[in-house]
Chains A and B, each alone.
Chain A
Amino acid sequence: MEALRVISSTTHPLKHLFRLASFSKFTPSTLCFHCPPSSITVASAVRSRRSSTSASPPSTSDRDAVRSIRLKKVEELRATGFEPYAYKWDRTHSANQLQELYKHLANGEESNDDKDCVSIAGRIVARRAFGKLAFLTLRDDSGTIQLYCEKDRLASQFEQLKALVDIGDILGASGSIKRTEKGELSVCLNSFSILTKSLLPLPDKYHGLTDVDKRYRQRYVDMIANPEVAETFRKRAKVVSEVRKTVESLGFIEVETPVLQGAAGGAEARPFITHHNSLGRDLYLRIATELHLKRMLVGGFEKVYEIGRIFRNEGISTRHNPEFTTIEMYEAYSDYESMMNMAEEIVTRCAIAVQGKLIIDYQGVEICLERPWRRETMHNLVKEATGIDFAEFGSDLNKAKDVTLSSLNMGSNNQEANSIRACQSIGHVLNEVFEMVVEPKLIQPTFVLDYPIEISPLAKPHRRHAGLTERFELFICGRELGNAFSELTDPLDQRGRLEDQVRQHNEKRAAAASVSKVSSAEAKKSDDDSYDVTLDDDFLTALEYGMPPASGMGLGIDRLVMLLTDSASIRDVIAFPVLKIQQ
């Protein structure tokens, strides 16, 4: 590997540029972007990066200097009749195709067949130039390949290459194929063309990695520096495509429902508000697609789905971005049992598509996605984890709270105890305990069944257990991945429950507003609830026209992608996450 031999003398990129600019043709320019010299695996790439000495990232003034030098090169190219921003390049192969196609070439062997004249294009990520020889590493979206540049073959172009080609430039190149003595498959260049002249230096790999903020703000730099980042987005596309294929193979039809709505329903969350000028009215950004998709069932579609963006005006975290993607699907004449099978089907098919296996690793934990997944009621899970049997409390809310507080050994004044005390119903207490104690432990895929009716305003009452609903949430790695129910179809019951929801919200808001005068911490909390919850009357009217018995499910696509790409943060799977305003 030639790269490793010369990599040791990595110096400040800027110096090289000055050297190049002054045409110091005879010193071996070992400007090297820290990158594997060929399409070797990510693991070894990491090793080779670590073995090299790293340069410090260019400061702003360095950047400006590089920029002005490269702008001069742009001028120089134009002055000599070359367009540094080309129009087009016809490729015959991708880097990876060549690596596959010429696997058989032995070290030192050259393929001289006429048909072996290939043409490729990509970004230069490493460059080593000697007197009559230069090596470039070119990367396209399939992988990398070495460009073997001899003065004898390139003639006058060789000097142009040495003087004007920088790391970061996008090159089109054609030539024949050979494997070097060191075993590196290379394109022996007959000619090349600068397709795009880059003006800014690529960040140093080692430091680029640590600058998390920059990674998200300039995702393209992240992707150039870390090919595995681009791979995550390829996998994301594969997941979405597999989800779509799965539901379409079962006869579901894709529809699009509005993002801008007169009332934000289908979930409990603070919505974004915007204003439509010509209508002269405020509109909400949707917080769920549920209520419109159910209208489709009323209209006679029996299987519909939508993959789309949802917006919630909430804080950002490793699990939350203000806009995120879900699939919601609804199927007439089915119930939540069938949605459990559907969830298993979708997630396992995606796992196979992306990872090729069902036992996967997430952040060091082995997750087994083999079907069937555990199905257990919320009551039993809470009982199992805490010993508290919520079925025993009947409707005695105070007893439920007392037992909970004492058996969980909560201090009298901590936040958790306060949130238990604030609960408005037994269902809320149960859910609170579930979220505190059980949720984080649900590492292996688990369907949590039969949620209390108080916290499930859109789910149908359980056919056997009063006070519960036919609802499940799917948990993997302690995270909620999906939420589904046998849909509530009774318009009167639905109206009552939505009105309750509005009332509860307003009570909470009023309560929070009154305490907020006391402390600033509470003031923040009151702000959390200070939005309006609106009742979607049109939806209720639609139900009055009759919706068939149905089940529906929502799955968080971003979280599914996190799981299947072993990503710790939602920001790693959203190309351009929302970030705080830069100072």
Chain B
Amino acid sequence: MDGTIEEATKAVAGLSVGNSTAQPEAGAALSKNALKKELKNKQKEEERRRKEEEKAKKAAAVPSSYAQKSLAADDDDMDPTQYLENRNKALSALKTAGINPYPHKFHVSMSVIEYVEKYSGLNSGEHLENVEISLAGRIMNKRSSSSKLLFYDLHGEGAKVQLMTDARISDLSESEFAKFHGGVKRGDIVGVVGFPGKSKRGELSMFPKSFVVLSHCLHMMPRQKPAASSDIESVKKIDAWIPGSGRNPETYVLKDQETRYRQRYLDLMLNSEVRHIFKTRAAVISYVRRFLDNLDFLEVETPMMNMIAGGAAARPFVTHHNELNMRLFMRIAPELYLKQLVVGGLNRVYEIGKQFRNEGIDLTHNPEFTTCEFYMAFADYNDLMEMTEKMLSGMVKELTGGYKVRYHANGLENEAIEIDFTPPFRRIDMIEDLEKMAGLNIPKDLASDEANKYLAEACTKFETKCAPPLTTARLLDKLVGHFLEETCVNPAFIINQPEIMSPLAKWHRSKPGLTERFELFINKHELCNAYTELNDPVVQRQRFADQLKDRQSGDDEAMALDETFCTALEYGLPPTGGWGMGIDRLAMLLTDSQNIKEVLLFPAMKPQDEPPVKTP
């Protein structure tokens, strides 16, 4: 055993050739190694770290001893490649010495959050020396007042506690202590065992007796604000963030969008608000699930790979199954499968899951996104409107404490708007209200050429440009966007869409040419789409045939016929209300996010392969 240590020491010594200050201390450490096996290892580690530290500093050409100057500041001046190299060398030295720099397990007696909750009531200066606590987390700040007293900020699960690391409390001797802490870097994950207390200034702290690095941050962590005090403030402020309040990513420690989205873990580490975005997202999904479960809905899973991409109109992803030699499409909507399950007797089903659309990436579109769809036998679209109001207002109330949500709809530079989810939501009859708002008198037979011509002229008149093909559905959509959707800031239902726009919705029971359908708009964007389901197989086939006509006239967003689905309808689908909602868009509204990438952990990004074009 001694032999290997001896060798390891040599190896380490080799690394720090020419470092005069480190040598005597190394000798001292060695003599102590003879005492205790445990201590030996610990010291080896410290020693190596220390030497690496010295070397690193040398490489960065900062001539000073760490006791007098903040180490973190030194590191910041270093070239990132050099920093990584140094840290790697330090680790390989440890490994050579037979020390595992990545321990298997550290027992945590409570989380940082629990710690803060439990001990924030202590009085200033109060120490509970008889209590032993073990905590773990990431070091996000390091300040040293002397070689014998250091302050670390330990972050865990969004909470923060100060580690008042005092050589007099530590199990280590003073020299060991200095050496060890010289090697602890901002970004390292550490485990500490010690007692709770509050500093004289009243800051909740933990006083570690033992201190171990569990995992190493090999890269230089982007710097937080330079002053320690402002750091504390920012954490406090951030913890106050709740869903529905405004958010400003411009003020984040890590602002660069590319880095934030590509290396989400850095975003999460450095911008504490970000974890609340994803907790909010999880809470949204959990609320929807609970809401439906309480109404006896059954959560089911339908295929994501289909022979036909049905249930919506969008360009699908194509893939290939090798062994079956079969072309498959990624689903664009689960609708047709879920309705088959209702035919099969599952009267209330829902699925929360990914959909895939092979479309461009922008502020509101990602190639994969999450929806919730539910189908409820014996209900119609009126029932579904009430459920929607109940679900959304209830969710906003639970998550935010009220019905109003702040949202920077007009950019961060302008005042955030307020979106009011107080039920009931406004109802807008699509054709009726469009005629009123725009002073139109649209021909009743919307499938006629006459209607098409009329709407084309209206579009020209109001200068709402519609890209070809100029199908009636597309023209109408443009006008509705211009006159109606624009007015929907607070949640509003646009109802009774025409049949030509709604191939899967049932014809209206009293308004010819229209369907029993609604779309919920919030902040001018569609969030939900629902209808009394078309369950007459003959009419369904006819609608698919009409869609085919639009397809042939160049509208590639028209829907394809799914024979399997039509056959299922022939076995009888009960009267059913069906409903779909975009989870990502709802998460955006509740987290004041203007970009869908803010609410996706790993959004789709352009490949990085080609070097970015730099403008001089």
Contacts and interface: CB of A to CB of B under 8 A. Distances in A.
Interface stretch (A8-16, A35-43, A328-336, A413-421): A328-336
Contact of A257 (B101, B265, B602): B602
A406 to B, nearest CB: 35
A299 B268 contact: yes
Interface in B307-350: 307, 315, 317-324, 326, 328, 330, 337, 340-341, 343-348
B209 interface: no
Contacts of B386: none
A463 B553 CA distance: 68
A361 interface: no
B343 A295 contact: no
Contact of B302 (A315, A322, A575, A581): A575
Interface stretch (B4-12, B214-222, B481-489): B214-222
Contact of B282 (A74, A254, A323, A460): A254
Contacts of A490: 101-102
A243 to B, nearest CB: 11
Interface string A76-103: 0000000111111111000000000000
A273 B305 CA distance: 12
Contacts of A492: 88, 91-92
A219 B344 contact: yes
Interface stretch (A174-182, A382-390, A441-449, A537-545): A537-545
Nearest to A225: B344
B439 interface: no
B612 interface: no
Contacts of B282: 253-255
A88 B353 contact: no
Contacts of A227: 345
B596 interface: no
A547 B299 contact: no
Contacts of A71: 538
Interface residues of B, number: 116
A208 interface: no
B265 A549 contact: no
B509 interface: yes
A262 interface: yes
A200 to B, nearest CB: 5
Contacts of A549: 102-106, 214-215
B344 A240 contact: no
A168 B367 contact: no
B151 interface: no
Contact of A463 (B104, B108, B360): B104
Interface stretch (A47-55, A110-118, A278-286, A430-438): A278-286
Point out which of B92, B155, B341, B343 has the most chain A C-beta atoms below 10 A from its C-beta: B343
B340 A220 contact: yes
A445 to B, nearest CB: 24
A273 B217 CA distance: 34
B138 A546 contact: yes
A381 B516 CA distance: 64
Given A89-B378, A575-B302, A578-B321, A491 B218 contact: yes
Contacts of A300: 138, 155-158, 265, 268-269, 275
A574 B301 CA distance: 8
A576 B302 contact: yes
- Which of B187, B345, B353 has the most chain A CB within a 10 Å cutoff? B345
B607 A237 contact: no
Interface in B66-113: 84, 88, 91-92, 100-108, 111
A90 B378 CA distance: 7
A546 B337 contact: no
B604 A199 contact: no
A262 B136 CA distance: 33
Contacts, number: 314
A230 B602 contact: no
A303 B415 CA distance: 37
A324 to B, nearest CB: 10
Given A218-B567, A309-B354, A323-B303, A278 B359 contact: yes
B405 to A, nearest CB: 22
Contacts of B158: 300
A259 B356 contact: yes
Interface stretch (A190-198, A348-356, A473-481, A501-509): A190-198
A302 B112 CA distance: 11
A72 interface: no
A220 B341 contact: yes
A374 to B, nearest CB: 23
B268 A276 contact: no
B299 A240 contact: yes
A409 interface: no
Contact of A333 (B102, B136, B264, B383): B136
A88 B381 CA distance: 9
B106 A168 contact: no
Given A549-B215, A576-B337, A273 B275 contact: no
Nearest to B268: A299
Contacts of B537: 199
27 contacts: A84-B536, A85-B536, A141-B348, A223-B344, A224-B343, A233-B298, A234-B346, A237-B299, A254-B282, A257-B601, A260-B317, A272-B305, A285-B319, A296-B268, A300-B157, A301-B275, A316-B323, A323-B304, A492-B88, A544-B217, A545-B217, A545-B266, A546-B189, A547-B189, A548-B138, A575-B302, A578-B305
Given A309-B301, A323-B305, A490-B102, 11 more contacts: A87-B509, A141-B346, A223-B345, A224-B343, A224-B571, A230-B346, A260-B368, A260-B604, A302-B157, A322-B321, A581-B326
7 closest residue pairs by CB, A with B: A299-B268, A223-B344, A198-B572, A220-B344, A299-B265, A298-B265, A199-B570
